[in-house]
Amino acid sequence: MSNARRIALVLGLAAYAVLPLFLKSYGVYLMTLLCVYLMAVFGLNLIVGYAGQMSIGQAAFYGIGAYHAAILLKLGWPFFVVLPVAAVACFAIGLVLGFPALRVQHHYLAFATLGFNVLVFLVMRNEEKLTGGTFGISNIPRPSLLGYSLDGALPFFYFAYASVIVLALVLWWLLRSPWGRAFAALRDNPIRAESTGVNITAYTLLAFAIGAACAGVGGVYLASLVNFIEPGQFHLSVSLMMLLAVIVGGSGRFFGPVLGSVIVVLLPEWLRFLQDWYLAIFGFAVIVLMVFLPGGLLSLADRFKRADP
Amino acid sequence: MKRLFRNSAAALALAACSVASAQQGPVPIVGLVELSGTGATAGTNFDNGVKLAVKEINAAGGILGRKIDYQSWDTQTAPQTAKALAQKAVDQGAYVVMGPVFSGSIIVSMAETRRAEIPNFTGGEAANITQQGNPYIFRTSFTQSTAMPKLARYIKDSVKAKSVAMMWVNNDFGKGGRDSMIKALEAEGIKVAADVSTDPGQVDFSSAVLKVKQSNADAAFVYLNEEESARALRELKKQGYDKPLIGETTLTGQKVIELAGDAANGAVAHVGLTVDAPQPAIKAFDEKFQKEYHYKSDHNGMKGYSGMYVVKAITEKVGKFDGKAFAKALHGATIRVKDYPGVLLDVHFDDNGDLDRESFLVKVENGKQVVTATLPPVNPIK
Amino acid sequence: MADFLQLIISGMATGAIYALAALGFTLLWQASNTINFAQGEFVMIPAFVMLFFLGPTVGAPLWLAFLLTCLVSMLLLGYTFKRLIVDPLIRHGVIPLVIATLGLAIGVKQLVKAGITAQAMPFNSPFPDGLLALGGLKVSYADVGTLLIAGIIVVGLQVFLNRTVTGRAMQAVAQNTDAARVLGINVRRMVLYTFLINAVLAVVAALLVTPTYLAKFDMGESIGLKAFYAAIIGGFNQTRGALLGGVLVGVLENLTGAYVSPAYKEGVALLLFLVVIVFRPEGLLGRREERKV
């Protein structure tokens, strides 16, 4: 990464860390929500952008993580035990879901994830004894870190912020590793990659499972943030928005999810006076984007780069 | 010397003005309303009712001389959004929060207003809303635990049904109503022949209606939200259901009649509020609402409107804008139509935030609500 | 027993509506590799357009409103959709087009929500209310009418595709575009016809489904999803598959709702969908697709 970009990154991170001090609880809530949402979207970018698969079920894993957290945290389990449990559960489910789907054809993973999302939603809504049904689960406790309670808006924000940075670093490291390099090969030319002995299915499956685990982690944070979850938060439409966040930001680009999540989570709030027109504009903007800039907004940077001699 | 005098006088005047304006500025009131999603009908009507009341109150000089600055935000019928917006309302220093209407949303969002000690009015009817020990929650309509026994008695005495098939929506509102109604029916010795749950936003009622038909009950009790009620009524008509159709509030709502068309005719419901009630205050409201919005209000519009006037009445009684004092004063208060026609009916609030007032039995005839009986409040209002 | 048959018949009627949407969906995929995630919204828009023509501004009778809406739909959802969205994107591959249709679905939904209303609006059924006694069974006029109309359309479409020159040309384009072009078939025009047919199918679906669903900006969501299931279950590359898939979904939903659990009614179509994907991905009537190197 060039020095200029490095400096920009540090400045951006610092600004985001300082901004909440000037906002009231609703503003801090939004900034925290962005961090949490980003965890799931980073995961989705791994699946869609790096492994080249279409997943329309990320919200299901988000939800599975959230419900794990809600049920276990209320039973008194410590947060840092719930977190890996949820991550492993989502990882395992991702493997189980991806395995049959990937054996078939490219767009069948998309269908399978769509079906999976709807199924999970239905279970969340109907199995009242376990999930609270349409009433959801409320009064989910916030964790405490080394004895320091995270009930307040600001403390939890810093906790979530630090967590998403850690998650991003883990993914960054993963993508730089030889295993991650294989992805680049996969994405660019699957057939050639296969001929060099790379087992496409195994790598793709792994990426899918890791992406699912990221969403699960995000879900745990979501449950703690809002202290309340219900099935509506994990509906198919949420998966679709997450997918759009990845694509609009720039699929396959590391910071694409950041830009995409800002557009999907924060912009609607700032532009609240536009209300429903905002989403209408967003929808049509996606079409325009696909026609003129299918690489997403971050690919704009490439265009400028290419213009340089 | 002269200049010093003039400048200090100006400074003093300015200071006096700013102190005064802190007391004179508009009163912020926030509406958390379902403007989209399954609750769009209820929320929009509630919001329109509040807006009408705000307009009238401001035109008459506001509350205690201050105008109301009313903003409404769309909760999208999502409890998570309602909760976050409640936080936002708290941040913005709202004096009072109106809404959400849907029971599922208010149950979640009221934790925020309660923590900030801001009075919160809701259109929700689920019984558990006022059973949480929240001193800041107030209703604008009956609680199900009051309404259902009234209705069960009607079913026993007038409809003379010995068994009832229940169709209800699986959310806080529907479940609460179902539970209250089952209790009330059992108390009257009426059998529950079928217990059919349906989903919020459900479009296809063919199997639900079939189950009701198969139960051979003497009557059907249909307790769904507005749009679903319309669809269920249409399906009941389509399948030729000919037994009495009974509901509570929603089944015969204005919007439901509009959406269901002829299928609504013959349905009967117990309603806490209807624009077709014979009371003059209500007729006046009906005219004003139609003039402003060019359609007939449903009960949610009346909830919002009367709720806003309750805010005016109690604030004036307290004499200042203090949420805590407001809540205390409202518990146990009685507000009469002759003092505040905006409350539409004499109303008494108890210590839980529940209200008691007259109610009506309504039948739909030729696409219109017709009041067939007026039922007195549980405890006579002195 | 009578109840069981009644459930089957009304399930078939609902399923026929899904089938119409699924049919259009399948045709688009076959002709131009378009996975149209906005198919549900393609049904929602004609519903509102018809309401407009039926409303006070124009005041047209139902049949006229229907015809006018077909014209509008062919123009907007057929021609404009193809020229503005599908043509520029199809060369980038399937995914950008899918994303664009996702964006279209959201944009159009919100446009209706913000520009018209977020509430539901009533829509009068083209059929009279009431029940028809058919040999011991009581079936509603609406169900019978729906089955008749859907049946006529599907049969008519099959006849068109199999017996007319244009129809055969369209099939050729679907099966092997390059060969069709070499044979001198005007591929672009055939594809356009597919889009136009889809647009009309959507209007018919709207006419049949909106009286029950009520016209609302989000009515397309569940219709689109069911159409999608039906298309995949039946077989993405076979038009007859769409019909089978739709009817299967409709009937199974009704039976599940009545005999198993109303809560998992939505789940049945989904379950069938998942089973088909895993065990028979080409669909019940479809042909296995080879992976092209």
B21: closest CA among B67, B60, B59? B67
Which amino acid is it at C190?
A: M
B293 shares a domain with B176: no
Asked if residue B11 is part of any domain, the answer here is no
Interface contacts (A, B; CB < 8 Å):
49
DSSP C42-55: HHHHHHHHHHHHHS
The CATH number linked to B157 is: 3.40.50.2300
| Residue A103 confidence (pLDDT) above 80 | no
d(C-alpha A7, C-alpha A131), whole Å: 45
B4 pLDDT more than 60: no
Contact between C119 and B40 using a beta-carbon 8 Å cutoff: yes
B115 with B38, same domain: the answer is: yes
- Collapsing DSSP states into helix, strand and coil, what is residue B382? coil
Residue A139 inside a domain? The answer is no
Q: Please tell me the total count of domains within chain B.
A: 2
Taking an 8 Å cut-off on Cβ atoms, the answer to whether B255 and C119 are in contact is yes
Instruction: Give the up-direction half-sphere exposure of residue B209: CA atoms within 13 A in the CB hemisphere.
Output: 25
Residue closest to C249 by CA, chosen among C234, C264, C238: C234
A89 found inside a domain: yes
In which domain, by residue range, is A55 found?
28-133+149-228
Q: Which residues of C touch B (CB under 8 A)?
A: 3, 6-7, 10-11, 14, 113, 118-122, 124, 129-131, 138, 140, 142, 211-214, 216, 219, 222, 253-254, 257-258, 262-263, 265
Residues B122 and B162 in one domain: no
A166 in a domain, yes or no?
A: yes
**Are B151 and B259 found together in one domain?**
yes
pLDDT digits (tens, 9 = 90+) for B252-291: 998 899 999 889 999 999 999 999 898 999 999 999 999 9
Tell me which residue range forms the domain holding B303: 27-142+279-357
ipTM of the complex: 0.86
Q: Mean pLDDT, to the nearest integer, of B141-161?
A: 90
Min Cα separation B295/chain C (Å): 14
In the CATH hierarchy, which fold is given to the domain comprising C2-279? ABC transporter involved in vitamin B12 uptake, BtuC (1.10.3470)
Choose the final residue of a domain: B223, B241, B271. B271
Lowest mean pLDDT among A253-257, C56-60, C277-281: C277-281
pLDDT tens for each residue of A172-224: 999 888 877 877 777 777 677 667 766 777 888 889 999 999 999 999 999 99
Q: How many independent structural domains does chain A possess?
A: 1
Give the largest Cα separation in chain C, rounded.
Answer: 58
Give the helix ranges, DSSP H, for chain A: 3-18, 25-45, 58-74, 79-103, 106-126, 128-131, 153-176, 178-188, 190-195, 200-226, 236-250, 256-261, 267-270, 276-292, 299-307
Q: What is the mean pLDDT of chain B?
A: 90
The answer to whether the CB of C180 falls within 8 A of the CB of C169 is yes
Answer yes or no: is A304 within a domain: no
Position B15 pLDDT exceeds 60:
no
Token reading at C174: 């679907």
Interface mutation vs chain B, best among A22, A23, A24, most B CBs within 10 Å: A24
The answer for residues whose C-beta is within 8 angstroms of residue B334's C-beta and 6 or more apart is B346, B347, B348, B349, B381, B382
- Asked whether residue A251 is domain-assigned, the answer is no
Residues 6+ apart with CB under 8 A from A64: A86, A89, A90, A93, A120, A216, A219
The whole model's pTM is what?
A: 0.88
Residue A90 sits at the chain C interface (C-beta within 8 Å) = no
CA nearest C194: which of C2, C18, C36? Answer: C36
Whether B323 and B244 share a structural domain: no
Report helix angle A153-176 to A178-188, nearest 10: 80
Rounded Cα–Cα distance for residues A294 and A302 (Å): 12
Average pLDDT over residues B84-93: 94
Task: Out of B114-118, C165-169, C260-264, pick the least confident.
Answer: C260-264
Q: How many residues does chain B have?
A: 382
Do B315 and B302 lie in a common domain? yes
- Classify residue A113: in a domain, yes or no: yes
Question: How many Cβ pairs within 8 Å bridge chains B and C?
Answer: 83
Q: Do B108 and A26 touch (CB under 8 A)?
A: no
Confidence of residue B92 (pLDDT cuts 50, 70, 90): very high
Angle at B82 between CA B79 and CA B87, to 5 degrees: 130
Q: Measured between CB atoms, does B294 come within 8 Å of chain C?
A: no
C-beta atoms of B171 and A135 within 8 A:
yes
Which residues are within 8 A (CB) of A307 and not within 5 positions of it... i.e. 6 or more apart?
none
Using an 8 Å CB-CB cutoff, list chain C residues near B208.
Answer: 257, 262
Q: Are residues B193 and B289 in the same domain?
A: no
Structure tokens at B274: 């209807």
Return the closest-CA partner of residue A60 out of A130, A128, A114. Answer: A114
Q: What is the mean pLDDT of residues A60-67?
A: 96
Total number of residues shown for chain C? 293
DSSP string, B122-180: E----GGGGGS--TTEEESS--HHHHHHHHHHHIIIII--SEEEEEEESSHHHHHHHHH
Q: What share of chain C is helix, strand, coil (3-state, %, to 5)?
A: 75, 5, 20
Q: Is residue B169 in a domain?
A: yes
